[in-house]
Amino acid sequence: MAEGRRHRDQLNAWNLDHIHMTSSNGTDLTVGLADDATWEGASSKAENGTDFIANVPTEEVFCAPHRERVNGIVYGTKPYVYNGQLIEGWHVTFKDGKVVEHGAEKNASLLAELLSTDENACRIGEIALVPASSPINQSGVLFYNTLFDENAACHIAFGAGYPTNIKGGSKMNRTELLAKGLNDSAIHEDVMIGAPDTNVIGTTKDGKEVTIFTNGEWAF
């Protein structure tokens, strides 16, 4: 938990504008962060000030993308369980935050169904970083349960973002959160995109580049 907090706190200290994720499978994705976005992970703080861990085990440190600032292509690295069926070998292409092209080797029609759930299901509400050395990943087990499986790899979530990933967001209404760039949707579906050779470079708001992930692992 201490390591998770350290990574979270450093990401926040860098005051990132966007991150760029690449891997040899073809993923080349730039994710701009929402206005006043804040990274969370390891533990959270309730409104009464109490620290708590919402998900055990947990490996992720996550943030809110800006709904209009996601561009590039990303390939899934693990099957996605949708309504009890597996979507495998999938990919999506984003332009200005919206999925403009997608496909899958298996159950492509289900991916299309997911992305058309509502008008904002084709945008993402979360970007999460998880190292390839995660025990869940090393187990090689697909648990068919997102709360476990999301701890196996870096992931994105189609659909709604978390207000708590915006500074003061828990006290904002939908219109105010939308103005910050937080996506709103009826769904929040996590899909795995992290690979053993995933690299992530961040760019701060003052234009400095920082190395976040190298070959699937934290670089700091």
Average pLDDT of the chain is: 93
Predicted pLDDT at 45: 67
Model pTM score: 0.92
How many Cβ atoms from other residues are within 10 Å of residue 95's Cβ?
12
User: CA separation (Å) from 112 to 100, 116, 130, 158, 172?
Assistant: 11, 6, 26, 12, 31
Would the pLDDT of 80 be above 70? Answer: yes
Structure tokens at 130: 């998880």
| Residue 166 DSSP label | B
Higher pLDDT, 149 or 39: 39
